[in-house]
Amino acid sequence: MFDAIARRYDLINRIFSFRQDAVWRKAMLQIVFKDENRVILDLATGTGEVLLGILKHDDGSRAFGADLSFSMLQGAQRKLKKKGAEKELLVQADAATLCFADHSIDTVTIAFGIRNFAQLSESLEDIFRILRPGGKLVILEFSLPKNFLIRWVYLFYFRYLMTPAAGKLSRQAEAYKYLDRSVEAFPEPNIICGHLHTAGFDPVEAKPLTFGVATLYTARRNK
Ligand SMILES: C[S@@+](CC[C@H](N)C(=O)[O-])C[C@H]1O[C@@H](n2cnc3c(N)ncnc32)[C@H](O)[C@@H]1O
């Protein structure tokens, strides 16, 4: 499905999030760079938006991008090339079986990817495995606002305006129906925090962004 929407993915994100996606990614990067990193993995990197943000920071860390979809990775490759950074490594990989050594990564980032992982527990366990003790996982994902009125307005926009319009613009109506379904079905932040604890992360934090339309999770591997 992501192969099919890769070409217009960035454009559609910008239009329908009113550029909020860029603001949220910035908040994510602030958490990433709170600590010193030698190696960062942007998992479910897609077209490389977070990866490019990491490279822009230029703090001497080495960054990799991994994703299941080859076409999304091709989009990332094109953008990296434009920035003269094509040597950064992109890998086609499934989050549940990552091709990285134990304890080899300081920080793993996942923006709007975890919702799509078919094997959530296995993926979190494998991310835990590749993180060094003291390393962290930073996740940015959609969530539903707690306030009833804001939630109603948001769901109205999401279901009846954004989903059909994005479907038309991308000519991939099913993909954007899936986006709506997957956001509405994704577990609440406290459940996700529970999954992170079960995978071994401690402490785990969840911070709502823009009335809870998105949530930023920080999960640390302490041992
Ligand atoms: C909504 S896009 C997010 C892309 C990017 N992180 C961003 O912020 O724009 C979700 C990405 O998750 C990837 N994905 C889905 N399941 C995956 C898995 N099991 N392992 C790795 N990547 C996966 C998809 O291929 C897609 O590129």
| Predicted confidence (pLDDT) at residue 112 exceeds the cutoff of 70 | yes
| Predicted confidence (pLDDT) at residue 120 exceeds the cutoff of 90 | yes
Indicate whether residue 122 lines ligand 1 (CB < 6 A): no
Domain encompassing residue 128 = 2-145+186-220
Residue 62 lies in a domain: yes
Q: What is the pTM of this model?
A: 0.94
Please report, in angstroms and rounded to a whole number, the separation of the first and last CA atoms in the chain: 37
How many domains in the chain?
Answer: 1
Identify which has the larger pLDDT, 101 or 5. Answer: 101
Residue 162 lies in a domain: no
Residue 202 lies in a domain: yes
Indicate whether residue 44 lines ligand 1 (CB < 6 A): yes
pLDDT digits (tens, 9 = 90+) for 13-25: 888 878 888 999 9
Give the per-residue pLDDT at 38: 95
Residue 201 lies in a domain: yes
pLDDT digits (tens, 9 = 90+) for 122-158: 999 999 999 999 999 999 999 999 999 999 999 999 8
Give the per-residue pLDDT at 16: 81
Indicate whether residue 2 lines ligand 1 (CB < 6 A): yes
Indicate whether residue 24 lines ligand 1 (CB < 6 A): no
Helix (H) or strand (E) holding 219: strand 214-220
Task: Classify residue 140 as exposed, middle or buried by CB count within 10 Å of its CB (0-12, 13-18, 19+).
Answer: buried
Report CA(132)–ligand 1 centroid distance (Å).
Answer: 23
Report CA(70)–ligand 1 centroid distance (Å).
Answer: 11
CATH number of the structural domain spanning residue 100: 3.40.50.150
